[in-house]
Chains A and B, each alone.
Chain A
């Protein structure tokens, strides 16, 4: 039922439910083990060597027999068979726990006079399996070099090819004429898509094919990662690579206007979600930085709620553009060096924090507009997106401009003005200095 539930609720609800249930299960587990511990220390014990040892031994033997017997049966139907090593680990991993204890505890003393002995034996088995087996299984797994389950992080290529393979194998089975696994799996999928999904999933998500859903999920994850990394401190993608969309698009003669990049049609709901996530994360980032600065730097007289409001407004305008850009750069192209602004804001110890050197374009900067109320536009959030596209935007981004400046025609493809404004609570050389002054020497 999980895919149906997940498709119907928003991202936030999903997180809420997930962690709520995790919390409850942790609490219940803790409670029962506390109970077990107390019963061990304080309970009526009746130790009987024979009974206890025979119980422990028989439990282990029964486990092994069960595992071996069942794998013998299923190996007849498997192509990739379970080896002896696998079976050993499965048998060794049989830890006993709270259920046995609870059942024993529920026995009535009047009908079962030997209850104490049972409980003692149960507790011994539990302790033995949990401590001895539980502690040694990890080194054993490493020693025996057992093949572990792989991290489920799938790339989009693997996803495409998995689907492709499924269809291919189904097709081959059909050609062979035999109703094998793939045939039935395919039939189930089609049934699922045609009837079940339509009933159980609300709205247009019911028609979304799996590949698109996967793609959207991946995009959202990347968007979140990008934002949380605070503008390029740590890149979300594993390999910093300089490959960007330019490198794979077939060469066309330069068009008269900027090339229209194809966008996937994100349904409105998703776009809204992405936007909300980005917005909230940005605010959090800003607050984090603020808390650093409040105690270590002189308070900026302009740092108040008004600034916040402005930032929010500007970010909202910027975000829409960002989403479009982000769709094109799924692996962040440039290897971004640490933004000097961010770094300083964190360390808050650099005396030159307010000296913005005119650096190269690859510096991602978070620039916050604390300046005049009239400036409605662009806060340049993450420069790195621009770099691959518009390498001409150099010092534009690093110079202070008068807040009411008109749109500069010289800016390449950028309809709005870029302004570098003082970063956060940067007071500059003197607190009452006019923000309009460029602080580049």
Chain B
């Protein structure tokens, strides 16, 4: 892992994703751990991380890694396995803005992050989040919290959808049908959350000594 060939590879990746070389090295180490020193990881590799077991939305997270839409290449569908480059591309959605980012860059960053979230919700890739999809999201969120019951999740999702509809399309005739949340509406309702600073991980602190191998039984 010290050959100059890897270094130029890293440089290429650094330019593409915006990470620093240090961060890429650390992430590569993690990638090796997850994949068992192979070149690609599959869903099973990610599934076997023990810490993820408690996460209510782990399936969506894992799917997001394999989603082609997150690779910014205008393709749809999903991969079977991903290589390090794709892994990094997905991770690059979680970079924080630095002090030097301008307003337009921040705006673009926020759009990118919101797009990532939108893709996570919009599973059939028709460009809108329908009521069914939204219901599924809420159900998943509540799934780990005990027996809540379908109706509660449905009601919450309905209320949320109603709110989106009334904020974005205030005057609808009783017979109109609101198909779903488009990306613009999605941006609109999440304006207050300041995604660019909230949705980030501190990659600088990714320290190899604190990494645990995904496969150990801990």
Contacts and interface: CB of A to CB of B under 8 A. Distances in A.
Interface of A: 79-81, 150, 155-158, 160-165, 167-183, 186, 190, 193, 207, 209, 211-212, 215, 237, 239-251, 262-265, 327, 330-331, 388, 391
A167 B56 contact: yes
A175 B57 contact: no
11 contacts: A80-B197, A158-B190, A165-B117, A165-B198, A174-B49, A176-B206, A178-B211, A240-B170, A243-B170, A248-B158, A250-B177
B145 interface: yes
Interface in B140-178: 141-142, 145-146, 148-152, 154-156, 158-167, 169-178
A177 B30 contact: yes
Contacts of A168: 57, 61, 117, 120, 199
Contacts of B16: none
Interface of B: 27, 30, 33-34, 46, 49, 51-52, 54-58, 61, 65, 91, 94, 96, 99, 117, 120, 130-132, 137-138, 141-142, 145-146, 148-152, 154-156, 158-167, 169-178, 189-190, 192-193, 197-203, 205-207, 210-212, 214
Nearest to B156: A215
B56 to A, nearest CB: 6
B189 A155 contact: yes
Nearest to B51: A174
B112 to A, nearest CB: 15
A169 B201 contact: yes
A156 to B, nearest CB: 5
A79 B171 contact: no
A171 B174 contact: no
Contacts of A212: 142, 145, 148, 152, 156
Main secondary structure of the interface of A (DSSP, over half): helix
Contact of B173 (A161, A215, A242, A265): A242
A156, A180, A237, A251: residue with the most chain B Cβ atoms closer than 10 Å = A156
Contacts of A251: 177
Contacts of A150: 192
Contacts of B33: 177
B105 to A, nearest CB: 15
B192 A176 contact: no
B49 A157 contact: no
A207 B175 CA distance: 40
A224 to B, nearest CB: 17
B151 A263 contact: yes
Contacts of B137: 160, 164
Given A190-B54, A242-B170, A160 B141 contact: yes
Contact of B159 (A156, A158, A163, A249): A156
Contact of B165 (A173, A240, A247, A391): A247
A277 B19 CA distance: 55
Contacts of B46: 175
Contacts of B193: 158, 161-162, 165
Instruction: Rank and list the top 9 A-B pairs by shortest CB-CB distance, nearest first.
Output: A209-B145, A241-B166, A177-B211, A241-B170, A174-B51, A264-B155, A171-B61, A243-B166, A264-B152
A237 B165 CA distance: 13
Contacts of B202: 79, 180-181
B6 to A, nearest CB: 20
A400 B157 CA distance: 41
Given A161-B117, A175-B46, A209-B142, A265 B149 contact: yes
A391 B205 CA distance: 61
A210 to B, nearest CB: 8
Nearest to A179: B210
A81, A168, A240, A245: residue with the most chain B Cβ atoms closer than 10 Å = A168
A331 B163 contact: yes
A365 B117 CA distance: 44
B156 A211 contact: yes
Given A79-B202, A211-B141, A248 B162 contact: yes
Contacts of A171: 52, 55, 57-58, 61
Given A169-B200, A239-B170, A391-B174, 19 more contacts: A158-B189, A161-B193, A164-B141, A165-B198, A174-B49, A176-B203, A193-B145, A211-B145, A212-B145, A212-B156, A215-B156, A241-B169, A243-B162, A244-B162, A247-B177, A248-B162, A263-B151, A263-B155, A331-B162
Given A161-B193, A242-B171, A249 B131 contact: yes
A155 B163 contact: yes
Contacts of B65: 175
A242 B170 CA distance: 6
Nearest to A240: B170
B52 A265 contact: no
Contacts of A388: 174
A265 to B, nearest CB: 6
Given A171-B57, A245-B162, A176 B155 contact: no
B199 A247 contact: no
Contacts of A169: 94, 199-201
